[in-house]
Amino acid sequence: MGMYMLPSVITDIVGSLAMIVLSFLSLRYTFLLVRRDPDNFLWSFLHYFCLTLAIFAISRAMGHMVKQALLIGGQKEAWKIISPFSGGLNTLLMISVSSVTIYYHKGVEGYRAIQKKAESLRIANRDLEKASTTMREMNLHLEEMIEIRTRDLALSEEKFRNFFHNSKDMVFFCDDTGIILDMNRAGLEMLNYNEDTNPDLSLNRLFADHTGLETFYSTLLDQKFIDDFEIEFIKKDGSVICALLSATALYDNKGTFRGCEGIAKDLTRLKTMTSQMISTEKMASVGQMAAGVAHEINTPLGIILGYSQLMKDDFPKDSEEFENLVVVERQSQACRKIVADLLKFSRQSGSSHGKADINEILTDVLAITEHNLHLDHIETERCFAENLPVITGDEEKLRQVFVNLINNAQHAMEDEGGVLTVRTRFSEEKGMIIASVMDTGTGIDQTIKHRIFDPFFTTKSVGKGTGLGLSVSYGIIQDHKGTITIESPVMYKNSCQLTPGTAMHIHLPVPDKTTTTD
Amino acid sequence: MRQKISPSNRHMFLFFSAFIFFLLLPEQSMALQTHGEPEGIYVHQMAHILYMTALCYLYWDTKRSTFSGRGWTYLRIFCVFTILWNLLALTGHACTQQLHPKDFSVDDGYLASKINMPVTFIKVLFYTAKHDHLLAVPAMFFLYMGLRSFYIHSLEEEDE
């Protein structure tokens, strides 16, 4: 009896074969892994581990199988010789497998370090990519924002630039010393400056009134703005325009006054229109009164004249009474003439309108008056426009108007002589004929300018005029739907220099062709 | 005429004299250490211990590392089986040293050889250790399975 060793022999042989097969199958997979990923340390380690293990398995299995074969064949002595070599080889291979495994320690550390580095690099890369994406988005957003802001800014700039350039009022910016830094086109046109010349302008130079300038600055500094300040600006040619100025003071961050920005509106036209309206209203009311007075006086005057003529028959011609009645009759006739003039002024007298040639009328008038003018050393100049349209009007009354104007001109130049210029022209744009009577006389004082059309207003000495000449002329021109304007001092012969003469401009409308035909 | 010997030639003569002396009388030189019979088995046993230690380390390191997946589990099972095999082999070799040729009987041939009675602990231990392939083969099988898993996983990763 005993423990039979046959099971262990069978296990030894089968197990050894299985070990060889399994070790080579394992080696195949490590080979495939290394081939797929040669840089992977783990696959390399497992490959060498399996290679050593396969050699160990072969060595051990071969040893076991040879042992079993020799012992089964009764070759115990032969196995005794081989046994130490087989055992020694197995020992060596076990040490090799152990060494590979221990070597794995260092290798895997390196591999882990590389992996850690790779991981941190991957994370850094991912973070960098994320940051790059964020930056790109931000950049894109920033670009969009800049684009929007720039567009808004450009629109705003264009809006204000258009406002500045297209404004019909003067817009300007000036520094703290009053020097105009920028002025829009309308402002320069208002002051008669050329836009391209870029003139050196300052408030000190522009303000006509020094006191006004001081008031402007003091108000601006006190209130930081000035509103609807009525001032007069001096134009390039020296003439003055009336303007309504509003301005705002400009300060820097430290609160120091840096200048102002202002808007000025030209009031000259408005003032002229207002003045004209006032004048028209005044003349209309004066005319009404004159007409009433004339009508009331005309009847008793007619009776006085009639009776005086009847009474003359009652006295002999050489008698004193007859002479007195002649005086009464003459003075009554003079009064009737005045009354007739008043009626003409108030347009109450009858008129016969027909075709009238202004050039022809002026030629007639000059023919009558030229002799007297020459006596006063007054030269006459005729500047008649050719092909002047014919107007509809009362030739006789128009003739009277021009006689009045020429008489006034003569009166203005009677002491020192001068030049009387009579000019006609046609303004197609306005559809008006403009007839001007200009003299180089003393001119009209600004203080009486607004009164010269008033009835009985005269600067002539007593007995030389009734003061009805211009009033009558005014009434006649009004009756012809025209206007009469005064220019004094006058720009003589477009010389760009003002001379102390007077120009009376009469604007008469030219009827439409259709109207004329009808 | 007497020739004078130079110092360098004298040194060469002394060196070669000593070399010939030790070559002829090796026992006196104490240069070689003799290795007795038990040394082979000790080295083999130490190799088993070294192999076992290496596998313990491999098991521990793969366990603590971030390596995860079925392949690494199979590799750790391989480590366990191989450690057990090493222990069994170590025990088997130790038992062999304790047994005497008289404890074995090969009278009816090698295939009918047996361990003689009485059955002792050492004899049972030796008999068990002789079946070490029952641990070694499963160990190799799990190694094979582990590597196969790595390869399949690698293919799947590439497909992804």
Statement: residue A493 has pLDDT above 70:
no
- Please, are residues B143 and A51 in contact by the beta-carbon 8 Å criterion? no
Query: Alpha-carbon distance A176 to A180, whole Å?
Result: 10
Say what the pLDDT of residue A498 is.
64
Q: A2 to chain B: nearest residue by CA?
A: B116
Give the pLDDT of residue B2.
46
Residue B35 has pLDDT above 70, yes or no: no
pLDDT band with cut points at 50, 70 and 90 for residue B138: very high
Q: Which two tokens stand for residue A347?
A: 């347009």
Q: How far apart are CA A79 and CA A63, in angstroms?
A: 9
CB-CB: which of B54, B113, B147 is closest to A46? B147
Q: How confident is the model at residue B8 (pLDDT cuts 50, 70, 90)?
A: low
> In this prediction, what percent of chain B has a pLDDT beyond 90?
20
Chain A residues in contact with B136 (beta carbon < 8 A): 15, 19
Select the residue of A9, A36, A84 nearest B154 (Cβ to Cβ): A36
- Which range among A276-280, A513-517, B90-94 shows the weakest confidence by mean pLDDT? A513-517
Residue A516's pLDDT is 42
**What's the rounded Cα separation, in Å, for the pair A268 and A242?**
5
Chain A positions in Cβ-Cβ contact with residue B116 (cut-off 8 Å): 2
3-state SS, residue A37: coil
**A509: part of which helix (H) or strand (E)?**
strand A502-509
Whether the pLDDT of residue A247 is over 90: the answer is yes
What whole-number distance in Å separates Cα of residue A391 and Cα of residue A510? 5
Contact yes or no for B150 and A46 at CB 8 A: yes
Structure tokens at A509: 């409308």
The arithmetic mean of pLDDT across residues B20-49, rounded, is 68
- Report the pLDDT averaged over residues B124-131: 87
B43 CB neighbours in chain A (<8 A) are 91
Beta partners for residue A434, in sequence order: A425, A507
CA–CA gap between residue A372 and residue A417 (Å, rounded): 12
Strands in A31-114 per DSSP E = none
The whole-number average pLDDT for the span A461-465 is: 66
pLDDT at A39: 78
Residue A434, SS3 per DSSP: strand
Which single residue is written with the structure tokens 């596998």? B55
- pLDDT tens by residue, A138-154: 888 888 888 899 999 99
Interface size A-B, in CB pairs within 8 Å, comes to 130
Whether A518 has a pLDDT exceeding 60, the answer reads no
**Cα angle value A126/A128/A131 (rounded, 5°):** 110
At residue A59, the pLDDT reads 81
* pLDDT at B115 > cutoff 90: no
What is the rounded average pLDDT of the residues A242-246?
90
**Band of pLDDT at residue A134, cut at 50, 70 and 90:** confident
| Residue closest to A164 by CA, chosen among A141, A145, A181, A144 | A181
C-alpha–C-alpha distance, residues B106 and A205, integer Å:
144
* In the block, residue with structure tokens 């809006």: A159
As a whole number of angstroms, the distance between CA A490 and CA A488 comes to: 5
Nearest residue in chain B measured CA to CA from A18: B137
Helix (H, G, I), strand (E, B) or coil at A264: strand
**Under 8 Å between Cβ of A473 and A405:** yes
Strand duo A391-393 + A240-251: pairing: unpaired
Q: What is the pLDDT of residue A508?
A: 93
Do residues B61 and B76 make contact, with C-beta atoms less than 8 angstroms apart? Answer: no
Asked if the peptide bond before residue B118 counts as cis, ω within 30 degrees of 0, the response is yes
User: DSSP assignment, residue A179?
Assistant: B
Task: Give the DSSP H or E segment for A487.
Answer: strand A483-487
* Helix segments in chain B, DSSP class H: 7-24, 26-29, 38-64, 70-98, 121-129, 133-159
For B28, counting Cβ atoms within 10 Å of its Cβ (0-12 exposed, 13-18 middle, 19+ buried), the class is: exposed
- Measure the CA–CA gap between B20 and B26, rounded to whole angstroms: 10
- The arithmetic mean of pLDDT across residues A211-229, rounded, is 90
Q: Is the pLDDT of residue B32 over 70?
A: no
Chain A residues with beta carbon closer than 8 angstroms to that of B130: 5, 8, 11-12
pLDDT in tens, A66-110: 877 887 777 778 877 887 787 888 888 888 888 888 777 677 777
Q: Which two tokens stand for residue A169?
A: 């009022």
Q: What ipTM was estimated for this complex?
A: 0.75
Q: Is B145 on the interface with A (CB under 8 A)?
A: no
* CA distances (Å), origin A323, targets A301, A302, A331, A333, A482: 19, 19, 12, 15, 46
For an interface test with A, the pick among B58, B117, B122, B148 (most A C-beta atoms closer than 10 Å) comes out as: B58
**A393-416: string of b/e by CB count within 10 Å (b at 16+)?**
bbbebbbbbbbbbbbbbbbbbbee
For the cut 60, the answer to whether the pLDDT of residue B3 exceeds it is no
Report which listed range, A1-5, A172-176, A272-276, is most confident: A172-176
Residue of B nearest to A73 (CA): B110
Q: Is the pLDDT of residue A124 over 50?
A: yes
* Beta strands A378-383 and A418-427, pairing class: parallel
Instruction: Dump pLDDT digits (tens) for A328-383.
Output: 998 888 888 888 877 776 666 667 788 889 999 999 888 888 888 888 889 999 88
Residues 372-391 of A with CB under 8 A from B: none
Of A142-151, A419-428, A484-493, B29-38, the least confident: B29-38
- What 8-state DSSP symbol labels residue A136? H
- Is the minimum CB–CB distance between A142 and chain B shorter than 8 Å? no
pLDDT at A517: 36
A282 CA to centre of own chain = 42
Query: CA–CA separation, A286 vs A344, rounded Å?
Result: 13
Which residues of chain A neighbour B40 with C-beta distances below 8 Å?
A: 84, 87-88, 91
Check whether A515 has a pLDDT greater than 60: no
| pTM for this prediction | 0.42
pLDDT band at residue A269 using 50, 70 and 90 as cut-offs:
confident
Q: Where are the beta strands (DSSP E) in A149-290?
A: 170-175, 180-183, 225-234, 240-251, 257-266
Name the band, by pLDDT with cuts 50, 70 and 90, for residue A463. Answer: low
Say yes or no for a CB contact (<8 Å) between A2 and B116: yes
At A420-461, the pLDDT tens digits run: 999 999 988 888 999 999 998 888 888 888 788 877 777 777
Q: Is residue A490 predicted with pLDDT exceeding 80?
A: no
pLDDT tens-digit profile of A368-399? 888 888 888 899 998 899 888 999 888 888 98
Average pLDDT, chain A: 84
> CA A64, CA A86: separation in Å to the nearest integer?
9
Q: How far apart are the first and last CA of chain A?
A: 166
Calpha distance A324→A317 (Å, rounded): 11
Query: Least CB-CB distance to B147: which of A29, A88, A90?
Result: A29
Nearest to A46 by CA among A78, A183, A194, A54: A54
Report whether the peptide linkage leading into residue A489 is cis, meaning its omega lies within 30 degrees of zero: yes
Kindly state whether B154 is in contact with chain A, defined as any CB-CB distance less than 8 angstroms. yes
> Rg for chain B (alpha carbons), in Å?
29
pLDDT of residue B159: 74
Q: Which residue has the higher pLDDT, A477 or B157?
A: A477
SS3 A5: coil
Residue B30 has what pLDDT? 52
Q: How large a percentage of chain A has pLDDT more than 90?
A: 13
Q: Does A38 touch chain B (CB under 8 A)?
A: no
Is some CB atom of chain B closer than 8 A to the CB atom of A84? yes
